Structure 1
């Protein structure tokens, strides 16, 4: 993995080398093994390298071809090296001496800005053509690596992280109020605007091109909502998914050091762990599997349909593979979600929306770093691909008059859940088909839709001025809108709004790389094209992955009726956490703008009403874990941005 940056003076003046070097220096923590830059005339490129794959030892970026007048920096991993080598007519004897970046360079030289269509993997890249005065940037379709840009009349700059762009003279960390509002209201990102007013992101699957002072943006890849795969039998879908899963996982095992995985009691991480362990077992190679657990002896209450101890299912899986070393990390009893909050904000250049999870994620990364791990697998996008629940199939059947199939599904659900009443099936069948106004009125009357003030600590005055609910509906993020019965289109739309690039980048600070087999482009396209009937059947949601992993995953994972709750004991150690919150609140009060954006009075009241019990009540969890803690996180980010401008 690399972190990349570049600076182009559009007025023809010579490159400001000091600024380029400052940009490179700010990215050094994300690429600790090597740092290099290239400059010519009015342009310069920089790269900091973290060696993850064996081929990374051959990396010689930035790359420059005098004859073609092409310079390039590349951050990422190519999963179709052999295919590209053949397409580009590169001799095998030469290819073994080439890093992924050099193969990508040849692709860009051959196909220009069409090259990203041919690249498979997690990547960002930038190509500068000085003779044509043309720069173009690209990012992989799932947005696994981050890339940002800044443009003014006399200058264009880009970097893997916003912090490097703030090295540009005159550019400040001025917040974009609209983006901050949407972030605080939990609206997924839409469009190129970042949380900073003058900084924009290359969106997943996008090419951004600057040609003679004109900026153009287009997508090099989008998932096809009309594509559907029809196979001959249910078993054929299972075999096809197994093949796709093994291929996607195998692509992510290329490493110059040990490989580890996240392992919870959920279907996604356990599937990734099991498939990876099976492949590595054939290579006589080990796999570290990490499970985050509450403090030893924790027996506190958790909300209904959740379980606190994920080690039971995780251990049952680990015991099935001789090459898995299972590492259970219990929460440090003295740790709180606020301990490293400001450090994480500075690393991300944004506020983490789930500070509780950052605690155990950091613990896993630190332990893995001590063991020399280079690759850390996860299944973060599994619910969009392999473990889609299939619920949109119910209203689809109703809308298309498939009454017998619907009745059959109900009987199957009834067999597995004898207490299930037919009225329980009405809501998932009818709700997505109702006019939105009727649906919203019904759900609000039954308190099934949370109001904005219940999940966001936004200042009500600012929310009113921003017209939050109307803005959410206009942007397509209305949380009170009923679920879509068109499952494929719904998932594709959601995918375009997910951007985890910065979160993946901070893993590089620990000398390793996050990789998600469930976010493989070909696996994702396959899963999106499968009929909904394969995901909901035999009285079970997520039917396809359950069949696929039958006999591989233990019953403690496949058949558990509850879902794991991460960091269930986050609220403990209140004698340390509450003073931290009060201190943070006083700092926020000292910043005039923080009070403009956040409901500081409400946050103060919540701290004073900290409960001694009732943590199994979803309303208590929502108020303190979501509303209050997320408010603290966003407040810390506001302070970070403002103090950076002082």
Structure 2
């Protein structure tokens, strides 16, 4: 990965090259390319090499019009772009991006498929253009000032620059507690730092900043085929295309996540077919062997039980199953895995930060890791909210057929009707009224550690409620909400990417596949009560039947209760630290967190009940991480 940095001034004398270089170097990276014309300073940095002597930075090569372009990431449709731009096959992505931006300006990124961030400076026009990809694969953060603008791939880099003011935003911290920060898509938890939302770009010229959007999910798109099997053929083609363009060259080592679900197995089996006979290493995360895992209907507690059935079908698949290390207090120290300055962690012990995959990738020499992330946004959407649309539009025969199919799978028709048809079909105000009649509080009161006064202010702005209505389809609205939420979270938590030796790629969020899946009829996902119907047909013959028919949900973090229990004393100490911070007291309901820890369940069985588990994970786990983030940002110990 390349770290991109730009500091543009409205006039000469604004840029301090030494301070900017120091901010970039504070990220632990080496500056490799630079451009400084007195108005604009552009730096591109990368990981330090094996030599103890850092290479001398090379000047950025300007284009024919004098513009300078920085690029990070990959363009997966590079061959198509090269032909369109009259470049030879094999032209590097950075050169393609530079040419496209020079010729097409703001219109260029709409034709790109990939994980990318690009910055272009045109000295003659004194204009800066920047853009990132549609699905949050590469971030750009910025700080706009009266005398100029600073952009960087990392929040840490901007925070290390003396021109960027410090301060935290209570509203965004509060929305983080209820997983709703995506409702303010260009804001970060830092008051002076914003970020480019997915599918967006910005143009800055002489102190004027303008954001523009070149892609968004389209709920009105319609894709219709004559025959049912044409949907399967088209989806299978797009899946193979999305995986193929993300594979490393030749027989280079490759690692892929493998769980018991349809998403990672779709990616892993497709990669194995495309790479055969080259080996494909897979990794499955398992719970601690000594952890007591109670029976949990509808959940797979140890994903290896299903994942191990897949490799025997593919001779070139090399499976690995690993246990994540137990978090220790050293992980909380400066420089530790859980010490974050850019954004609060989502969970007390986040899978992404203690997953053993990066260490395994390093041992294997794998520079690329494939995941099944985002499959529920595209190929494996379960489709059950289609029943709400059937009820709203009085398509009662189709609703009855789906409910009967759910009953044949052992589901309660009444529960399915209430949970997936009636309640979702109601307007948000009526849904909230029904909850109150049943004596249940709003979700933010029920599950989170959001301070009541702040929560009420956010609720007045409708920021803590369910997905807003955008179309005539409740199913489409929820899919778009999840796309925006997941892509936002990828950007917000992108800081961990810089500690990962491998490039994590997510084929199921390929924008071509996402656009295609959004345009399909609802019956392709829920058919006679059978959910994830499209994915099950696409993967038929490629997965063991037991995996293909699995209806339970896998849980990678199944031993969460044991991990939290052994840190109870530490959690109580964290509350005391948070209580010393006025901002933490403003954002968090600290008395509630304390009560939940003091009433800790005796064992994993009562802790696994949803009414107990969700407050422990959200209110205690996420609440403590937000509090810890606040007091550290304020200069507290740790």
TM-score with structure 1 setting the length: 0.90
Aligned to 1:618: 610
How far off is 1:200 after superposition? 0.7
> Is structure 2 residue 417 aligned with structure 1 residue 429?
no
8 Å CA contact 2:4–2:43 kept in 1: the answer is yes
- The answer (yes or no) to whether the contact 1:431–1:482 under 8 Å persists in 2 is no
After TM superposition, the runs of 4+ consecutive aligned structure 1 residues lying more than 6 A away are: 480-484
Q: Which moved more, 1:621-630 or 1:162-171?
A: 162-171
Counterpart contact for 1:267–1:387, Cα < 8 Å? yes
Q: Quickly say closer, same or farther: Cα 1:437–1:338, change in 2 above 3 A.
A: farther
**How far is 1:373 from its partner?**
1.7
Match of 2:54 in 1: none
In structure 2, the partner of 1:57 is none
Call closer, same or farther: CA 1:61–1:102 in 2, change over 3 Å.
farther
Q: Return the offset for 1:365.
A: 1.5
For 1:504 and 1:232, how far apart are their aligned partners in 2? 42
**SS of equivalent to 1:356:** coil
Q: Are 1:7 and 2:7 matched, yes or no?
A: yes
Is the alpha carbon distance of 1:263 and 1:517 closer, same or farther for their aligned partners in structure 2, counting shifts above 3 Å?
same
Q: Distance in 1 between matches of 2:442 and 2:386?
A: 25
Q: Partner of 2:92 in structure 1?
A: 99
Are positions 1:65 and 2:59 aligned together?
no
After superposition, the Cα gap between the structure-2 partners of 1:538 and 1:133, relative to the gap in structure 1 and judged at 3 Å, is same
Asked if 1 retains the 8 angstrom alpha-carbon contact of 2:15 and 2:41, the reply is yes
Matches within 5 A, 1:185-584: 185-189=178-182, 190-255=184-249, 257-281=252-276, 284-332=277-325, 334-335=326-327, 339-340=331-332, 343-344=336-337, 346=339, 349-358=342-351, 361-417=354-410, 420-421=412-413, 424-446=416-438, 450-464=442-456, 467-471=457-461, 473=462, 475=463, 477-479=464-466, 485-498=473-486, 499=488, 500-572=490-562, 576-584=566-574
Residue 431 of structure 1: how far off its partner (Å): 2.3
Q: After superposition, give the CA deviation of every residue in 1:286-337 in whole Å (9 maximum; x if it has no partner).
A: 11111111112544215432121110111101222111111111243x4369
The Cα offsets for residues 379-433 of structure 1, whole Å up to 9 and x where unpaired, read as 221111011111232232233343333333333333333x644564354222233
Q: Tell me the secondary structure at the aligned position of residue 390 of structure 1.
A: coil
Contact 1:292 1:360 in 2 (8 A): no
Check 1:458–1:485 CA distance in 2 against 1; reply closer, same or farther (3 A cut): same
List runs of 5+ in structure 1 lacking aligned partners: 53-59
**For residues 611 and 505 of structure 1, what CA distance do their matches in structure 2 show?**
34
Tell me if the contact between 1:303 and 1:618 (Cα under 8 Å) persists in the aligned partners: no
How many angstroms apart in 2 are the aligned matches of 1:265 and 1:154?
53
Are 1:113 and 2:101 matched, yes or no?
Answer: no
Instruction: Give me the whole-angstrom Cα distance separating, in 1, the residues matched to 2:2 and 2:565.
Output: 42
Q: 1:620 to 1:402 in 2, by over 3 A?
A: closer
Tell me: CA distance 1:422–1:320, structure 2 relative to 1, closer, same or farther (3 Å): same
Residue 524 of structure 1 and its aligned partner are, at CA, apart by 0.4
2:337/2:354 contact within 8 Å kept: no
The CA RMSD over aligned residues, in Å, is 2.8
Shifted more, 321-330 versus 357-366: the winner is: 357-366
Shift of 1:578: 1.4
Alpha-carbon distance, 1:599 to partner: 2.1
> Is 2:425–2:474's contact at 8 Å kept on the other side of the alignment?
no
Distance verdict in 2 for CA 1:192–1:359, change over 3 Å: closer
Give the Cα–Cα distance (whole angstroms) in 2 for the partners of residues 271 and 375 of structure 1: 17
- The separation in 2 between residues aligned to 1:538 and 1:204, in whole angstroms, is 35
How many residues in Structure 1 have an aligned counterpart in Structure 2? 623
Corresponding residue for 1:56? none
Question: Secondary structure in 1 aligned to 2:561?
Answer: coil
- State the match for 1:585 in structure 2: 575
DSSP-derived class of the 2:256 partner: strand
Q: Secondary structure at the match of 1:540?
A: coil
Q: Which residue of 2 aligns with 1:88?
A: 85
Equivalent of residue 585 in structure 2, options 570, 595, 602: 595
The question of whether the paired residues in 2 share the 8 Å contact of 1:312 and 1:556 is answered with no
In the aligned structure 1, how far is the partner of 2:66 from the partner of 2:76? 27
Does residue 634 in structure 1 map to residue 623 in structure 2? no
C-alpha deviation, 1:608, in angstroms: 2.0
SS in 1 for 2:211: strand
Shift of 1:643: 1.8
Query: Is 2:611 aligned against 1:607?
Result: no
Give yes or no for contact 1:72–1:128 (8 Å, CA) kept in 2: yes
Contact 2:170 2:583 in 1 (8 A): no
From the superposition, tell whether residues 51 and 226 of structure 1 become closer, same or farther in structure 2 (CA, over 3 Å): farther
**Is 1:341–1:633's contact at 8 Å kept on the other side of the alignment?**
no
Contact (CA 8 Å) 1:345, 1:351: kept in 2 or not? no
Residue 66 (structure 1) shift: 5.9
Change (3 A) 1:62 1:416: farther
- CA 1:579–1:80: 2 relative to 1, 3 Å: same
User: Residue 53 of structure 2 aligns with which residue?
Assistant: none
Report the CA distance between 1:258 and its aligned residue: 1.9
In structure 1, how many angstroms separate the alpha carbons of the residues matched to 2:425 and 2:327? 46
Q: Please state how far the C-alpha of 1:617 moved relative to its aligned partner.
A: 1.2
Change (3 A) 1:449 1:375: farther
Q: Secondary structure at the match of 1:288?
A: strand
Instruction: Give the superposition deviation at 1:502.
Output: 4.6
The CA deviation at 1:7 is 0.7
Q: Which region of structure 1 is more displaced relative to structure 2, 221-230 or 436-445? A: 436-445
Q: Measured at CA, do residues 157 and 574 of structure 1 come closer, stay the same or move farther in structure 2, by a change above 3 Å?
A: closer
Secondary structure, counterpart of 1:496 in structure 2:
helix
